[in-house]
Structure 1
Amino acid sequence: MTLRGIGYLRRKLATVQPRVNMRYKQYSMTNHDTPVGITIPFNIRSQYRSVLGWCAKGVDSLADRLVFREFANDNFEVNKIFRDNNPDVFFDSVVLSALIGSCCFVYISKSDEGDSPRLQVIEASQATGIINPITGLLTEGYAVLASDEYNRPTLEAYFTPTKTYYIPKDGKPYSTVNPTGHPLLVPVIHRPDAVRPFGRSRITRAGMYYQKYAKRTLERADITAEFYSWPQKYIVGLDPDAEPLETWKATVSSLLVISASEETKSNPTVGQFTTASMSPFTEQLRTAAAGFAGETGLTLDDLGFVSDNPSSVEAIKASHENLRLAGRKAQRSLGSGLLNVAYLAACLRDEFAYLRSQFVRTEPKWEPLFEADASGLTLIGDGVIKLNQAIPGLIDSEVVRDLTGIKGNPNAKPAEVIDNE
């Protein structure tokens, strides 16, 4: 196997870094879109720049539902490795980074304090590599482990199957031995495919377009609201020799005295221009929200357009069917990456290159995407009773936990099994 080298990986990272950084700006609502329009001057539009968090909502609505539980059939005690690495923060950081940047990377290193290796999450703009499409592991990798306040790398790492090379900015490069047989940089990818092996971001181009469209609508509505609040007025037939009216006084005064023209003896006509209606902007904003909701699997309720609230969890599931399918897909793809992390962490802990096929029975377990309420628990309970009556012992406490998220008593047995005993 021929390695490409650190120079190639640096250039590769430089090509994808702007796109990842742009999506992080979209998520943090700091991205400034290029002004588009033919009627409003740039200096006026810049005073009414709008901020909208739909892209962040699209990511968080899925990330908050992806809660990793544990690894089942843990024959290699990998759950302990993750418990020693602050799992509440680690798993949430992995999921969020992968949804924003299409993937993230986990850097595995030996710990000086305990037996469990250290796990560090690195965002997609700071790491890259050459991926094996069969295993999902890297054949070689590169990552920026530390940067200064100007985002310039101060510590870089180059990962190979046998060694990890460290390149500090103000020091001498050094290396450590890698006993696992794989680079200690593992990608965790969201929705990979044959064309995009490093996955696809939750912040899609269509989602960014609908958000930009909604932001332009809000800016136009905000500028129009100024004229809507203070409509323009006019006077026809005013004496040319009359004292000019101050514009502010004419706007806020409750009583204006306007003399008739001495030449024509006609009274001036005072009028008001018709103000623009705000209704078209509301409809435009709702259209943009409908497009964004369809792109991300959300509903208009999620984006702030209140309608009749669903009465049960089942109704919420029905309205979020596309979101549920996206969550199940994310669980499968992210779970595969987390299993690769567990595999290499176990190899590094034991300093032994296990076969990857030995981890096929280890299974990532996730909490249910939608928690069951009282009515849902009743329906599940009735179904469990009927299934266990038809096939005794078919549904146990582990299956019920997967359906409801309630741990309960792990030693509990179905009623039919207890009766038979």
Structure 2
Amino acid sequence: MRRRILLRLSQPLWLYTALLCASRFDVRRGLERHWSSERGLVSANLDITLPTLTLSEEEAALLGKLRGRIMWYAEVNRKKQHYYEGRQAVRQLGISVPPQLYDLAVSVGWPGTICDVLEERLDWQGWTSVADELDGLDEIYRDNHLGIEASRVHLDALITGTGFVTVGRGDISAGEPEVLVTVESSSCATSIWDYRKRRATAALSQTWNELGQIVLETLYLPNETVTLARNADSVVNATGTGNNKSMIVVDRDQHNLGRVPVAQLRNRDRAYDLRGRSEISRPIMYYTDAACRTMLGMEVSREFYSAPQRYALGAEPEMFGVSDESTVDDRILAGWRAAMGRLNIIPLTEDGDMPQVGQFPSAPPTPYIDLIRTYSQMVSAESGIPAPYLGFSTENPSSADAIRQAEYRLVKRAERRQTNFGQAWREVAFLALLIRDGKVDRDFFRTIDVKWQDAATPTRAAAADEALKLTSAGILTPDSTVTYDRIGLSQQDQARVMDDKRKARLNGVVDNLKNASKNVQDNNQFVAEVAARKVPVSAQ
């Protein structure tokens, strides 16, 4: 949305040039200009198009829709994050546990383990190309530290079901990369997804301060990016409540890319629900809460029933220091003395009978442990991670084949995430090239793909044995980058190995030339005589 105005200028030319550049004015045409070299003034009628720092009705409606999505998902995401961090509020049944112990901070870290174990197998190593030409994508990967940033957005997508990556032009003078790639949390960003285009058609990201107030919003459109800031007197919190009209437009960047510079990573999406699904599902949350309640019951049992209960038949309370005048505190203290005393002396009764003293067997925690083990097996079945990862292991170590069989489903789930997330990272590559160059060669981009580390857990010996068999069979060449990738060499290691081999081949060529020359001299007397001749020095 822009407006056109007509200005009459009669000030120094450099001043208007600075104003036009600072305000991003678009000078369409000059109608009349008069220049005076003596005064250094310019007088001109200019038809100028100014960017409108207000939202249109369509933009305001779109912004409200995106804000509503963030508000709706914020509470759901907060709940999943609490389970991931082990800070969820567990609902108690209120039957066997005293209310005074409800606040006991019992926590089970299974939701965090489920997400972490899966994320640890999602090692994105950048982009690759069939033609070994990345057109600067490797530099974008290194400059933006995407090896670290990718891990963050992957984990966020596993916890909440989705994650976002924004691409823009960085401020080189401020030390930013030329193409700035930033990951966004799903708690402060959202988008509208186009199923046919397989990408976002609009997106919104919010920036909060330490008080939970929204201080900045960025509305991403196909041809324009609108930035809104909050007035100092307004109050808009992280839940979106408050005076949203206080967010005013402060900048419009008309990039005319024809594409929203936002990529979305969706976890476990399906045709019915394209928003993605968290790994912390409702069954996982229930099993976790049930395990927390069981552990709390085990804590109570330890306090009350782990010490053996004793009894005395035919004894009087006075024998243990308890009388009718004793207060409640005195009775409790006397009971602790009798239970904890190393030597208890009990006299005979008035009839001369010996009191009978005994104890009840203590209650073991075995039922609680068995119940927690049952919950862990149900969590393992729901999440696809091996049961030993949840804290229960057998006495005998598993064999290598048993470990691979137990991890088969986990590896397959990780490979599915690599496929889904890989499409988003290809979109990031397309946006990065589009923002840097203004256009993207479609034929070249078809050769670009993402590179992941193997999601399985092969040993170095197994990888080396596999590479040896493939090269021996002629399927792979020894110096191929594919072979180096199969044995786990990094890009730096591959470059050093190739450089060392290049030097070795060069040294071998030099040695072969020396040996060939020596053989010729030894076998040919004429050549030897010619080589032994001395060239006389001409007189000066």
Distance 2:417 2:484 in 1: 20
* SS in structure 2 at match of 1:165: strand
In structure 2, relative to structure 1, the CA distance for the partners of 1:117 and 1:325 (3 Å cut) is same
Task: Show the counterpart of 2:145.
Answer: 86
What's the offset of the Cα at 1:57?
A: 1.1
Distance 1:387 1:209 in 2: 52
Tell me, yes or no, if structure 1 residue 180 matches structure 2 residue 257: yes
The Cα offsets for residues 237-291 of structure 1, whole Å up to 9 and x where unpaired, read as 33466541711211111222333443x5544333333432211111111111111
Identify the structure with bigger relative contact order (alpha carbons < 8 Å, sequence gap 6+): 1
Distance 2:442 2:113 in 1: 37
Q: Which amino acid aligns with 1:284?
A: L
In structure 2, relative to structure 1, the CA distance for the partners of 1:374 and 1:6 (3 Å cut) is closer
Task: Show the counterpart of 2:163.
Answer: 104
Tell me, yes or no, if structure 1 residue 328 matches structure 2 residue 415: yes
Task: Show the counterpart of 1:237.
Answer: 314
Tell me, yes or no, if structure 1 residue 362 matches structure 2 residue 423: no
Tell me, yes or no, if structure 1 residue 40 matches structure 2 residue 128: no
- Asked whether the equivalents of residues 397 and 410 of structure 1 are also in contact (C-alpha less than 8 Å), the reply is no
In structure 2, relative to structure 1, the CA distance for the partners of 1:410 and 1:131 (3 Å cut) is farther
Task: Show the counterpart of 2:438.
Answer: 351
Distance 2:455 2:467 in 1: 19
Task: Show the counterpart of 2:35.
Answer: none
* SS in structure 1 at match of 2:170: coil
The 5 A counterparts of 1:10-21 are: 10-21=67-78
The 5 A counterparts of 1:1-400 are: 5-47=62-104, 49-73=105-129, 74-113=133-172, 116-144=178-206, 146-170=207-231, 172-173=248-249, 174-239=251-316, 243-244=321-322, 246-262=334-350, 265-307=352-394, 308-312=396-400, 315-352=402-439, 354=440, 359-381=445-467, 383-385=469-471, 387-388=473-474, 397-400=480-483
Distance 1:96 1:24 in 2: 11
What's the offset of the Cα at 1:200?
A: 1.6
In structure 2, relative to structure 1, the CA distance for the partners of 1:241 and 1:319 (3 Å cut) is closer
The Cα offsets for residues 59-101 of structure 1, whole Å up to 9 and x where unpaired, read as 1111112111121125543222222111232121121111112
Distance 1:183 1:374 in 2: 43
Distance 2:308 2:435 in 1: 72
- Which runs of 5 or more structure 2 residues have no equivalent in the other structure? 1-57, 233-247, 323-330, 502-540
Give the TM-score taking structure 2 as reference length: 0.69
Distance 1:204 1:187 in 2: 21
Distance 2:425 2:77 in 1: 21
Task: Show the counterpart of 2:11.
Answer: none
What's the offset of the Cα at 1:16?
A: 1.4
Q: Which amino acid aligns with 2:63?
A: I
Percent of matched pairs sharing the same residue: 25
What's the offset of the Cα at 1:183?
A: 1.8
* SS in structure 2 at match of 1:124: coil
In structure 2, relative to structure 1, the CA distance for the partners of 1:357 and 1:123 (3 Å cut) is farther
In structure 2, relative to structure 1, the CA distance for the partners of 1:238 and 1:102 (3 Å cut) is same
**Matched residue pairs, number?**
403
What's the offset of the Cα at 1:168?
A: 0.8
Q: For the aligned residues, what is the CA RMSD?
A: 2.6
Distance 1:231 1:166 in 2: 69
What's the offset of the Cα at 1:160?
A: 1.0
In structure 2, relative to structure 1, the CA distance for the partners of 1:176 and 1:252 (3 Å cut) is same
* SS in structure 1 at match of 2:181: strand
What's the offset of the Cα at 1:406?
A: 2.9
Distance 1:239 1:332 in 2: 77
Distance 1:347 1:250 in 2: 82
- Asked whether the equivalents of residues 228 and 276 of structure 1 are also in contact (C-alpha less than 8 Å), the reply is yes
- Which runs of 5 or more structure 1 residues have no equivalent in the other structure? 413-421
What's the offset of the Cα at 1:399?
A: 3.6
What's the offset of the Cα at 1:10?
A: 0.8
Give the TM-score taking structure 1 as reference length: 0.87
In structure 2, relative to structure 1, the CA distance for the partners of 1:37 and 1:291 (3 Å cut) is farther
What's the offset of the Cα at 1:155?
A: 0.6
Q: Which amino acid aligns with 1:272?
A: Q
Distance 2:201 2:498 in 1: 41
Distance 1:366 1:198 in 2: 24
* SS in structure 1 at match of 2:387: coil
- Asked whether the equivalents of residues 144 and 177 of structure 2 are also in contact (C-alpha less than 8 Å), the reply is no
In structure 2, relative to structure 1, the CA distance for the partners of 1:81 and 1:309 (3 Å cut) is same
Distance 1:403 1:371 in 2: 12
Distance 1:214 1:85 in 2: 41
In structure 2, relative to structure 1, the CA distance for the partners of 1:241 and 1:302 (3 Å cut) is closer
Distance 2:120 2:365 in 1: 35
What's the offset of the Cα at 1:401?
A: 4.2
Distance 2:149 2:309 in 1: 58
* SS in structure 2 at match of 1:119: strand
- Asked whether the equivalents of residues 136 and 187 of structure 1 are also in contact (C-alpha less than 8 Å), the reply is no
The Cα offsets for residues 318-373 of structure 1, whole Å up to 9 and x where unpaired, read as 22001100010000000001111111121111233x47776332111101123532
